[in-house]
Amino acid sequence: MSFFSEFREFAVKGNVVDLAVGVIIGGAFGKIVDSLVGDVIMPLVGLIFGRLDFSNLYVVLGTIPAGVANTLADLKKAGVPVLAYGNFLTIVVNFVILAFVIFTMVKQINRLRREKAEPAAAAPAAPPEDIVLLREIRDSLARR
C-alpha cells in the first residue's frame, strides 16, 4: 500500500472527520465565549470593582520614551516591554467559562447515555406456549 493511499484511508475515517468538525465548531464557540467574556462579563466585573477596565491593566517593564502616551496600545506600538496582566485575567476568565460549559455538556451527555442504557422496567414477558403446556401437564399429573 502506498503512502498516499494509506494517508487517504486515514484521512477519510469517521473519527478524523468527526475531529475536524469538532475543531471547527470549537473555534466558532471560542469566539462566542471571547465575546461573552470581553463584552459582557468583564465590563460587569469592572463595574463591581469600581469601573476598572481589565484590558488596560499592565506594568511597564522598561523606560517610556519621551512623547509616548502611557497607554497599553501606545506602549506596545513604541516597543516598550509591558506585562499586560489584565489581558491574562480576561483570558483566564474566558477559559474558566469555556471549561464550565464543556463540563456541563459532557455531564448532560453522560446522563442521557445512562438513561438510554437503563431502559425502564417493563412488564415480564409471557412465557412461551410450550412452557405453558408443560406446566399444565405437570399440574394435571400432580392432581392424580
Mean pLDDT (10-residue bins), the chain, 144 residues = 81 75 85 83 78 78 89 90 87 82 85 77 79 90 88
Determine the pLDDT at residue 81: 93
pLDDT of residue 89: 84
Give the structural domain span for 83: 53-120
The answer to whether residue 137 is domain-embedded is no
Residue 87 to residue 55: CA distance in whole angstroms: 5
- The domain tally of the chain equals 2
- pTM across the whole model: 0.54
Asked if 27 and 83 sit in the same domain, the reply is: no
74 and 101 share one domain: yes
Domain contains 128 = no
Q: Can you say how many angstroms the Cα of residue 102 is from the centroid of all Cα atoms in its chain?
A: 3
Instruction: Answer for the pair 85, 58: CB distance below 8 angstroms, yes or no.
Output: yes
Is residue 141 domain-resident?
no
Query: Phi/psi at 66 (nearest 5 deg)?
Result: -65, 140
